[in-house]
Structure 1
Amino acid sequence: MSGFLDVAPENGERASLLSVKSAKPSPDTLTKLVKRLRALTLTLLPLEVDPASINDPTSRVITPQVISAYKAAAGDFTDALPYCLLRARAEFMWDANHNPADYGENIGRGTSVAIACEVLARRIVHLSPPDRLTVIMSSRFQHRQVDGDESDMSSALEQAIDSHCSIFLSSSEAQEVVNALWTGELIQKNNANHDIDYVPYADTREHTFWGHLDASRLNVPRYQNIFRIVIWFFFLVAYSQAVREPLERLGDSLDEWEVVLYTMALSFAVEGRSNFITTDD
C-alpha cells in the first residue's frame, strides 16, 4: 500500500503534464478540420450578413452556443482551432476574389463568413485559459495545399499577420503575446524539422552575472531596434566628420573617419545584398 501511495502522485503529476500539452494534428487532419469549419460557417451564415453585426460584442450571430459548437467540432485539437479558423477565413477570401461567377454575391457573402471566422477565433482565444494563451497563439501547424504539398509551418499569430486580420490582432490577447515577443519575455527555441517553440526567457536564463551578458539577447526585436538606432547615429557622426571641410584635407591617404565611413558603408551594402539573396531564395 505504501508503495502504491508513493507512485500515485508521480503518475498523477505525469498525467497533469500530459494534459497541458495537446496533441499536434497532422497536415491532413488539419486540412479536414478547416473544411469542417468552413462547412459549419456556411451553415451558420447561409446568406450575406452585415459585417458590423457579426463583430458587435452583443452579436446575435456569434453566441456562446455557437462558440461551443465550434469547440466541439475541433475535438481534441482546440489549441489549433484559432489557426484553423484564420485559415478558413483566408480560404473564404480567396474564393470570393477568384470566383468570377456572380462576383458581387461571392464577395459579399465571402466577407461575411470570413469576418465570422475571424471573430470566432478572437472570441475563442479570449475564452481560453491564460496559461494556454502563448501555446495557442504561437504553436505552429501545417496544412495540405491545393496542389497536395504541405504548407510552411505557421502559427495563429503569423496567419493573422499574413492575412491582415485586424479584428484578431487588435485583441488584448494578441497584443499581449506580441508585446512579450517584442520585449524578449518570450524567446524562440528551434526544434527539429524547422519547428519553433516560444518559451519564457525566465525559464532559460542563467541567474548569474554572465547571464546578463548573453549575446543571443540581440535577437530580441526591441534590442535589435535599439542597436540599429545606435549604429545609425554613429554612422551619422562618422559621415559628419568625414565630409567636414574636405578641401583642407586633400591628399592621397584617407583619414580615420573616412575609413570608418567606407567600412560601415561596405557593411551596409553586404547586409542588404545578403537580405536580397535570402528573399530570392
Structure 2
Amino acid sequence: MSRRSTGGWSRLLGWDRHPAHQHHDQWWEETRRRLLPAYVEDTIESAIPPEEVTKIAVRLRYLIEECIPCDMEEDVVTRSHSTVITRKVVKAAKEAGGEDYMDCVRWFKHQANVELWDATMHLVRATACEVIAKSIIESEENTEYLMHSILLKRYSILIDNEPTLPSNVIEKAVDLHALRVIGSSGYQKCISYLWKGWLIQDENDPARFVDYKDRDNTSFISHLDPDRMRAPMYQNAAQVLFSILYLVLYTIAINTINRNGDLDAVEIVLYIFTCGFIFDEVAKVWKAGYYILGFWDAFNGVLYSLLIVSLVMRFIAFSKAPSDDPNIKGQREQFNELSYNFLAVSAPMFWVRLLLYLDSFRFFGAMLVVLKVMMKESVIFFALLIVIIIGFLQAFIGLDIAEDLVLSDVTFIVQAMANAVMQSPDFEGFEQFGHPFGIILYYCFTFIVMVVLLNILIALYNSAYEDIYDNADDEYLALFAHKTMQFVRAPDENVFIPPLNLIEVFFLALPLEWWMNKRTYERLNDIVMAILYSPLLLIAAYFETRTAYEILGNRRRGDEDDDTVEEWEQLQVNGNGIDFEQDGWKKTVEQVKPNVEDELAVVEVRQLRSEVAELKQLLEALVKSGGTSGPGTSAKDSLAKGASEQGASAQGSSAQDSSTQDASAQGSSAGEASYAEMAAK
C-alpha cells in the first residue's frame, strides 16, 4: 500500500498533550516515530552529529543559567531592549551554535515540573530561550539560509546515549507551543511557504525540503500536476469541500424521509462518506496507537457511531415485513422511524464538526483556541462536580432504602439532581422524602452546585478568556502552524483525502500494488488523482498562474516573492517615489526621533559623565601648567568658575525632563562641591 495520506492525517497528530507536561520525553519521541512512515524513520539523519548538537544545547543551557541565576519577573526578559537578554547574549548564543534552543526550552519546562520549588525560575529561563531564538530568527536577513538551514534542517540530540528522531525548529516550536518563536516573522514566512506549497518535500528524501521550481512559471499546463495536492492549502480546501458536501448530503437525507424504509441514492452516498471517515479514524489508531486520540477524535467517533446505529436500524427494518394496515405501525415502520431518530439526533454534531475544518480562517481559529482553553479549565469543575454528585447520590439512595426498604425512587433522585445542576431545582419533591433529612440534603446540594461550583466555573472561564485574549494572535498563529505541520509532517506520495481513501484502498492498493511495477503503479495513481481532483486542480492552476505573474513582478522590483504592494508603496512602484534624503525630510526626522533603546534618565547620566570627564581633563591640564590660568587669576578661582559653569550646564540639560530634573541637579551640585574642594586643595 502506498504511504499514508497526508490529508488523511489532518487530525492525526493531536498535540493536545503538551510535551512539557509529560514526566518522560520518551513517550513523545516514540509517538512521533509511529507517526512517520517506516522508511522515513530509517533514512532521516541529523544534519549535525547528535553528539555535537547535544554539546551545543548544553552550552546554551549553561549560558541561560548564568544569565538568569535567580528568580526574576518574566517582563525583565521579554521586554524590548532587555537588560538581561542583551545583544551580547544573543551574539554569544550564535557563537555557540544557537539553532538548538528548542531542546533547552523542553529541558527547562521539564525541570519546572520536576522541581516545583524553582518552577518560576526555570519557566523564565525557558522564556529566555524563546526570546533568544526569536531574536536569532528575526535578525537573519538571508531568507534562503533562514528557511533551509535554520528552520527546516533536522537535528538530533542524545538521550541515554541514543539519538532522538531528528526534528527541525518548525516542528519543535509546534510541539512545545513556543508562541514567541511561532510569532516571529521569519517563522511565519516559512509556514506561509509550506502552506502554499512553495516549499515541498524532496521525493527522494522526504526529510529534506526543496523549493517548488514552477512557482514562477506562468504556463497554465505546468500547474496541472496532481502532486500539487500535497500542498497543505489544497488539502485543506479539499477537506472543507468534502465536509460541506457531507453536510449537504445529511441535510437532504434528513429532510427526505422514506416511509417505506428504502435507501435512496443520497443516503447511500452519505453512508459511503461515513465509511470513508471511519476507515480513516481506524487506520489512524492502527498506525499510531491510542496516544494520538484527542477531543475531535472522540467527537467524530460519537457522530459516526450514531450514523452506524442508524444504518443498522435501517437494515433491521428491511428484514421486517411492512404493516398491512396503514394506521398501525409494524416492526418495519418502527425500526425505520428509530433509524431516522438516530439520524436526526446527530444534526448538531454535523454542524459543529464543520468547525474542525474552518480553523484555517482567523475568526474560527481564534474562537476554537478560546474554547479549547475553556474546556481545559472546566476539567477542575467537572472533577469536583462528579465527586459531589456521587456523595449526595449515595445519601439520597440511603434515605430511599431506609424509608421503604426498597430502592424505588432512583429515577426521581437522578432527575432532581440533574435539574439542580441545570439551575432548575425541584424542592417540592423532597419535602416528604426522608423528612426532614431529604430536603436538608437537597438544599445543601443545590447551594454547593448553583452557588459555589458554578461561580468557580465562571471564574475559571473568565480567567481562561483573559489569559488567551492577550495572546489571541499568537495563539491563532500557533494553531495555523500546527495545522500546516499536520499536512507536512507525515510525507506521502499519493494524497487521497477521505472518502477518496476508499478508492485508494479497494481499487488501487489491494488489487494492484502487490504485483504491479512500482513505476507503473505510481503513474496509475497520478492518473486517478488527476481525474478525481480535476475540478480543484483547474482552480488551483488558475490561481497559481496569477501568482506566478505577481512573483515575477516582485522579483523585477527586487522584492520577496510573497511581497504585496501596499497603498503607501504605489508611488515608489510607479516611479514617482519621494527621496526623503534629497528634500531634507530625513534630516528633520533624525533630529526629532526619540531614543527608544535607552531610558531618558540613563541618557542624562551619560551626558553628565561625559561632562565630568571633560572637567577632569581641564583640571589635569591646569595642574600641569603650574597652577595658573592667567595674569592675576589664581588656580582656585579658575577651577571654581569652571565648576560653576559645568554645574550650570548639567542643570540646564537635565531640565528637559521633569522626572530626572531633581536627580541631575543633585548630581551637578555634588560635582560642583567636589571641584571646589579639589581647587581649594
Letter in 2 for 1:232: S
Q: SS state of the match for residue 49, structure 1?
A: coil
Letter in 1 for 2:280: E
Contact 2:253 2:267 survives alignment (8 Å): yes
Structure 1 residues 171 and 204, CA, compared in 2 at 3 Å: closer, same or farther?
A: closer
Cα deviations across residues 215-251 of structure 1 (Å, max 9, x unaligned)?
1222222211111111122222222333333245x25
Q: SS state of the match for residue 187, structure 1?
A: strand
- Given the alignment, which residue of 237, 253, 266 partners 2:248? 237
**How far is the alpha carbon of 1:54 from its aligned partner?**
0.8
> In the aligned structure 1, how far is the partner of 2:203 from the partner of 2:56?
27
**How far is the alpha carbon of 1:88 from its aligned partner?**
0.8
Matched with 1:221 is 232
> In the aligned structure 2, how far is the partner of 1:96 from the partner of 1:234?
47
**How far is the alpha carbon of 1:27 from its aligned partner?**
0.8
Matched with 1:128 is 140
Cα deviations across residues 174-210 of structure 1 (Å, max 9, x unaligned)?
1111122112222122555xx6122221358987544
Cα deviations across residues 9-59 of structure 1 (Å, max 9, x unaligned)?
xxxxxxxxxxxxxx9311111111111111121122222222111111111
Alignment of 1:143-158 (within 5 A): 143-145=157-159, 147-158=160-171
Q: Which runs of 5+ in 1 are unaligned?
A: 1-22, 75-80
Contact 2:70 2:121 survives alignment (8 Å): yes
Q: SS state of the match for residue 47, structure 1?
A: coil
Matched with 1:5 is none
Contact 1:190 1:196 survives alignment (8 Å): no
Letter in 2 for 1:257: V
Matched with 1:276 is 285
Contact 2:214 2:223 survives alignment (8 Å): no
> In the aligned structure 1, how far is the partner of 2:277 from the partner of 2:103?
38
Matched with 1:176 is 189
Matched with 1:27 is 50
> In the aligned structure 2, how far is the partner of 1:213 from the partner of 1:108?
54
> In the aligned structure 2, how far is the partner of 1:163 from the partner of 1:206?
37
Structure 1 residues 244 and 112, CA, compared in 2 at 3 Å: closer, same or farther?
A: closer
Alignment of 1:1-281 (within 5 A): 24-74=47-97, 81-82=98-99, 84-99=100-115, 103-104=116-117, 106-131=118-143, 132-135=145-148, 136-145=150-159, 147-192=160-205, 196-202=207-213, 208-248=219-259, 250=260, 254-280=263-289
Q: SS state of the match for residue 141, structure 1?
A: coil
Contact 1:205 1:211 survives alignment (8 Å): no
Cα deviations across residues 107-148 of structure 1 (Å, max 9, x unaligned)?
122112111111111111111133312121111111111x22
Structure 1 residues 153 and 59, CA, compared in 2 at 3 Å: closer, same or farther?
A: same
> In the aligned structure 1, how far is the partner of 2:110 from the partner of 2:248?
49
Q: SS state of the match for residue 208, structure 2?
A: strand
Letter in 2 for 1:110: H
> In the aligned structure 2, how far is the partner of 1:206 from the partner of 1:274?
38
| TM-score in terms of structure 1 length | 0.79
> In the aligned structure 2, how far is the partner of 1:233 from the partner of 1:71?
48
Letter in 2 for 1:139: K
Work out the percentage of aligned pairs sharing the same amino acid: 29
Q: SS state of the match for residue 199, structure 1?
A: strand
> In the aligned structure 2, how far is the partner of 1:118 from the partner of 1:54?
10
Contact 1:122 1:168 survives alignment (8 Å): yes
> In the aligned structure 1, how far is the partner of 2:157 from the partner of 2:216?
34
Q: Which runs of 5+ in 2 are unaligned?
A: 1-45, 291-681
| TM-score in terms of structure 2 length | 0.34
Contact 2:246 2:273 survives alignment (8 Å): yes
Contact 1:140 1:155 survives alignment (8 Å): yes
Letter in 1 for 2:108: F
> In the aligned structure 2, how far is the partner of 1:65 from the partner of 1:44?
11
> In the aligned structure 1, how far is the partner of 2:141 from the partner of 2:203?
25
> In the aligned structure 2, how far is the partner of 1:206 from the partner of 1:277?
41
Structure 1 residues 203 and 149, CA, compared in 2 at 3 Å: closer, same or farther?
A: farther
